[in-house]
């Protein structure tokens, strides 16, 4: 379903529209009036110091965190407290986590087949076919019968990406997908993400990989203290940042 809509609609169509979103943890104001529009096929990289609210923001998009005021519209569905709408959005939005969150009691293949069979009612054989296709795409098909505990971090993150892809999502969210990885395996995960971007997937990535941002992103967003400070295309963002906070952050990140 998502693939067909993807083909029919023009590139200008809005995938995600966030308007004046606020969120509090108790009395702590985490997200302060966020406005963000993401078009179909756009790749957004979100960066910023830790605690700036960037993870919280993308976790609000598929309702892992509840926003308390403002409006979020994903692929034409308004995110409210109605479980049906939440479910509809989650089916169409895939997510990869910092700690992979693979299900340790299932094999790689079972991890990939679980959601399609339970949520979409796909038959076992069809789900297996899809799962193997995407495992092939992330170059890990030969490990399909292993358990997550037997794989390296990089392999696990690639499985997690394949697991999300099996649901045929229209949007992929990445929440610091490489922060928990050893330096030598970061590249293999980034390669998979680049190939996803080349396929035209709508992506929002929270990451500190500035090389990836420069290479892939259509826009780079800098957040600090719960606000979007800067929103620009990569070349302008890196070479000519407008805000002082961005400059400071970039000098700290790019120093080494």
Partner 1 sequence: MEQTKPPSELDIKGIIIQALFLIAVAVLITSAYSSGQTNLSKMGLTNGFSFLERATGWSYSFSMIDHSTDDPYYRTLFSGFLNTFVLGITAIVFSTIFGFAIGTARDAKNLAVQGSAAIFIQIFRNIPLILQLIFWYAVLIHLPSPRQAMGFYDTIFMSNRGVMIPTLNMSLYTWLIVVAIAIGAYFSINKFCKQKKPIKILAWVTIMAVSVLLLGNLFVPENEPLLSIPELKGLRFVGGVTLNIELVAMLIAIILYGSSYIAEVVRGGLQEVPKGLTEAGNSLGLSDRQIWFKIKMPMALRTILPPLGNQWIFLIKATTIGVAIGYSDLFMIISTSITQSGQTLELIGILMSAFLLINFSLARLINLLNKKLQLKGH
Partner 2 sequence: MTTTTIPINSKPRAVKPVVKYTWFKERAFSTPLDTLMTLVFLSVICYLGYLIVDWTFLNAVWTEENVAMCQEATGACWSVVDARHRLILFGLYPYELQWRATLACASIILAIVLSCFSFFWTIWRLSWLWFVGFGSYYLLMEGSLLGLQQVTTDEWGGLALTLFLFSSVVLAGIPTGLLFAMLRRSKLPVISYGISIFIDVIRSLPLLATLFTAAVVIPILLPEWLHGDKIWRVIVAFTLFFACYQAEVFRGGFQGVPKGQVEAGQALGLSSWHIFTRIVLPQVFRHSLPGTINMVVMTFKETAIVIIIGFFDVIASANAAIGTAQWAPYYMEVYAFVGFIYWGFIFLLGQYGSYLKRRLSNTSH
Please spell the DSSP secondary structure of 15-36, one letter per residue: EEEEEEEEEEETTEEEEEEEEE
Instruction: Compare residues 64 and 132 and give the one whose CB is closer to partner 2.
Output: 64
Among 19, 69, 235, 243, binds partner 1 (CB under 8 A): 69
Which SS3 state, helix, strand or coil, does residue 149 take?
Answer: helix
Selection from partner 1, partner 2, none that 69 binds (CB < 5 to 8 A by kind) is partner 1
Q: Which stretch binds partner 2 (CB under 8 A): 67-75, 88-96, 184-192, 214-222?
A: 88-96
Q: How far is the CB of 73 from partner 2 (least distance, A)?
A: 18
Q: How far is the CB of 25 from partner 1 (least distance, A)?
A: 9
The order of strands in the sheet holding 227-232 is 93-96, 171-175, 202-206, 43-47, 219-224, 227-232
Measure the CA–CA gap between 202 and 169, rounded to whole angstroms. Answer: 9
Instruction: Compare residues 195 and 243 and give the one whose CB is closer to partner 1.
Output: 243
Among 68, 150, 235, 252, binds partner 1 (CB under 8 A): 68
Strands 171-175 and 93-96 come out as: parallel
22 binds partner 1 (CB under 8 A): yes
Instruction: Compare residues 25 and 103 and give the one whose CB is closer to partner 2.
Output: 103
**What residues from 183 to 242 belong to the interface with partner 1 (CB under 8 A)?**
none
Measure the CA–CA gap between 99 and 51, rounded to whole angstroms. Answer: 18
Q: How far is the CB of 187 from partner 1 (least distance, A)?
A: 34
29 binds partner 1 (CB under 8 A): yes
Please name the residue ranges forming H helices in 75-174.
83-92, 108-115, 124-137, 153-165
Whats the size of the chain, residue-wise? 256
Rounded to an integer, what is the distance from CA 144 to the centroid of its chain?
23
Instruction: Compare residues 66 and 247 and give the one whose CB is closer to partner 1.
Output: 66
Residue numbers at the binding site for partner 1 (CB under 8 A): 22-24, 27, 29, 32-33, 68-69
């Amino acid at each position: 379903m998502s693939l067909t809509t993807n083909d029919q609609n023009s590139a200008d169509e809005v995938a995600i529209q966030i308007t004046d979103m606020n969120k509090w943890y108790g009395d702590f104001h985490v997200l302060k009036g966020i406005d963000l529009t993401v078009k179909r096929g756009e790749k957004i990289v979100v960066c910023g110091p830790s605690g700036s609210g960037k993870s919280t923001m993308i976790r609000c998009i598929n309702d892992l965190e509840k926003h308390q005021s403002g409006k979020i519209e994903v692929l034409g569905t308004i995110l409210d407290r109605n479980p049906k709408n939440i479910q509809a959005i989650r089916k169409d939005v895939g997510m990869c986590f910092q700690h992979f969150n693979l299900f340790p009691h299932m094999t790689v293949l079972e991890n990939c087949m679980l959601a399609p069979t339970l949520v979409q009612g796909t038959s076992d054989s069809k789900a297996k076919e899809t799962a193997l296709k995407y495992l092939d795409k992330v170059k890990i098909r030969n490990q399909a019968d292993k358990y997550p505990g037997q794989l390296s971090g990089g392999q696990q993150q690639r499985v997690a990406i394949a697991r999300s892809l099996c649901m045929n999502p229209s949007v992929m969210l990445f929440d610091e997908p490489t922060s928990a990885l050893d330096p030598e395996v970061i590249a293999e995960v980034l390669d998979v993400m680049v190939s996803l971007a080349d396929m035209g997937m709508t992506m929002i990535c929270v990451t500190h990989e500035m090389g990836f941002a420069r290479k892939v992103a259509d826009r780079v967003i800098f957040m600090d203290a719960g606000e979007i400070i800067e929103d620009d295309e990569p070349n302008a963002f890196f070479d000519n940042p407008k805000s002082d906070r961005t400059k400071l952050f970039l000098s700290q990140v790019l120093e080494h």
